[in-house]
Structure 1
Amino acid sequence: MMVGLALGLLATIVSLNSGHGFNALRAGPWTAWPSVGGGNADPYARAVVARSGEAPLGRDQGLAFIATADSTGAPLDGACEYAVADPLPPARFWTLSLATPTGGLIDNPTGRYGFSSVDILRREGGGLEVVIARNARAGNWLSPGEARKFVLMLRLYDTPLDVEARPDPNNFPAIVKLKCA
């Protein structure tokens, strides 16, 4: 009985620390949990949301994607520099920001935590690129500060993205490692 209790407790802890429950939607390095903000969220997703205190987007509001790794699958590292480049899935409005692995703001010298579809600088032709690096860059630059670990959050508001079909990773921004210190 004790072994069963211990295994059940261990399985619950692993489930609560490995995302937002079941039915993850993956597109390359980006992952979303479309059912978290709805009434049909599984018990593990509800427990994660209750524990974190976050207010997830409802499916009719949009989708929040998180990337913990670059496009090659290597974990994001604050000592490295990255370029996040278009394309972006269709959405009326979007935001791209840095956060701690638990979803908090990263303390950085600029006080800038992300960009949105209205304040990003675009290249000729409408494309975009955001550089993530500790040292300042011209253009769209975000600093991870002194954080060694961070995540990228892409929120798509009022998006027609079909969550029942698997989205094409080529329609999501690539996260390319430029160099490491």
Structure 2
Amino acid sequence: MRRWGIWLLAVIAGIVIGSGGAWLSLRAGLGAGATKSGPWVTSSLTGSTDADLRTRATVAIAGLLALSAKEAIYFNAEEDSAGAPLDGRCRYRVTGSDPKARWWSLTLYGADHFLVTNPAQRFSFHMRNVPRTGNGGFAFDVAPSGEGDGWLPTGGQAHFALTLRAYNPDPAIIGRPDRAHLPRIEKVSCA
């Protein structure tokens, strides 16, 4: 093989390896500043001018238009409270109490970071429409099928994620998101 052929092969291999490594790194989630609270992950750098390039790229891939932490904090869950990956073929029970914020919502996204198409046209709950329990908390199912208003459809997808947005959160949540009282996600059954 001529020199230019070896050079071209090396350039192509470098592009493939570099692009693949970058893709895997971004798909791995938030890096610097990432904090966990149960199954929920957030980053203090999301929406911040201090965000590094990896955090900015991860946020861009997930489709967020991120506000600063003072305005909104975003928690993402890709696993249940026991640490197992969320599986859209299973049924989960999400329970909790209102996060300390002016307004909050909890939205289900497919593996492609888009809303999951479903006949019920239900994609999220928020503080005013979430099914309430007798003690002032809330509880609903996340499952491929259900009845009534107390469930978010997964569409039976193998992978999904839940995103909790808290707008104008309490300063304690901003300062210590790892101590935030966030909903539990418990697997009930699996098909």
TM-score by length of 1: 0.86
- 8 Å CA contact 2:173, 2:179 repeated in 1: no
Bigger CA drift: 109-118 or 32-41? 32-41
What is the alpha-carbon distance in structure 2 between the residues aligned to residue 90 and residue 147 of structure 1? 31
What is the alpha-carbon distance in structure 1 between the residues aligned to residue 168 and residue 21 of structure 2? 35
Counterpart of 1:168 (choices 148, 170, 179) is 179
- 8 Å CA contact 2:98, 2:137 repeated in 1: no
Letter paired with 1:148: A
* Correspondence 1:94-113 to 2 at 5 A: 94-113=104-123
Letter paired with 1:95: S
CA shift at 1:47, angstroms? 2.6
User: Between Structure 1 and Structure 2, which shows a larger proportion of helix residues?
Assistant: 2
CA shift at 1:44, angstroms? 1.0
1:11-32 Cα offsets, whole Å, 9 max, x none, are: 4333222113311021010001
- 8 Å CA contact 2:72, 2:166 repeated in 1: yes
CA shift at 1:81, angstroms? 0.2
CA shift at 1:134, angstroms? 2.0
TM-score by length of 2: 0.82
What is the alpha-carbon distance in structure 1 between the residues aligned to residue 168 and residue 85 of structure 2? 29
Number of aligned pairs?
Answer: 180
- 8 Å CA contact 1:121, 1:140 repeated in 2: yes
Q: 1:31 — aligned with what?
A: 41
Pair member with larger Rg:
2
Q: 1:121 — aligned with what?
A: 131
Bigger CA drift: 69-78 or 12-21? 12-21
Letter paired with 2:112: T
Letter paired with 2:117: D
- 8 Å CA contact 2:31, 2:54 repeated in 1: yes
What is the alpha-carbon distance in structure 2 between the residues aligned to residue 77 and residue 100 of structure 1? 10
1:178 aligns with 2:188: yes
**Structure 1 stretches lacking a partner, 5+ long:** none
User: Between Structure 1 and Structure 2, which shows a larger proportion of strand residues?
Assistant: 2
CA shift at 1:176, angstroms? 0.4
- 8 Å CA contact 1:131, 1:142 repeated in 2: yes
1:166–1:62: structure 2 CA closer, same or farther, 3 Å change rule?
closer
1:49–1:82: structure 2 CA closer, same or farther, 3 Å change rule?
closer
3-state secondary structure, aligned to 1:48: helix
